Amino acid sequence: MDSTGYSEGEADGLADASTEGVRAAEADVRQRMRGLDELDELPVSEHVARFEAVHEALTHALNRADELLSGASGSGS
Band of residue 12 on the pLDDT scale cut at 50, 70, 90: low
Question: pLDDT at position 67, please?
Answer: 83
Q: What is the pLDDT of residues 22-74, one digit of tens each?
A: 888 889 999 999 999 999 999 999 999 999 999 999 999 998 888 877 875 54
| Total domains, the chain | 1
Please indicate, yes or no, if residue 2 is contained in any of the structural domains: no
Please indicate, yes or no, if residue 3 is contained in any of the structural domains: no
Please indicate, yes or no, if residue 36 is contained in any of the structural domains: yes
- 7: CB partners within 8 A, 6+ apart: 1
Letter string b/e over residues 52-68, b meaning 16 or more CB atoms within 10 A of that residue's CB: ebbeebeeebeebeeeb
Please indicate, yes or no, if residue 55 is contained in any of the structural domains: yes
Question: pLDDT at position 19, please?
Answer: 79
- Look up the domain containing 49 and give its range: 8-71
Q: Residue 25: count other Cβ atoms within 10 Å of its Cβ.
A: 19
Please indicate, yes or no, if residue 35 is contained in any of the structural domains: yes
Return the percent helix, strand and coil in the chain, to nearest 5: 85, 0, 15
Please indicate, yes or no, if residue 76 is contained in any of the structural domains: no
Band of residue 76 on the pLDDT scale cut at 50, 70, 90: very low
Please indicate, yes or no, if residue 77 is contained in any of the structural domains: no
More confident residue, 12 or 74: 12
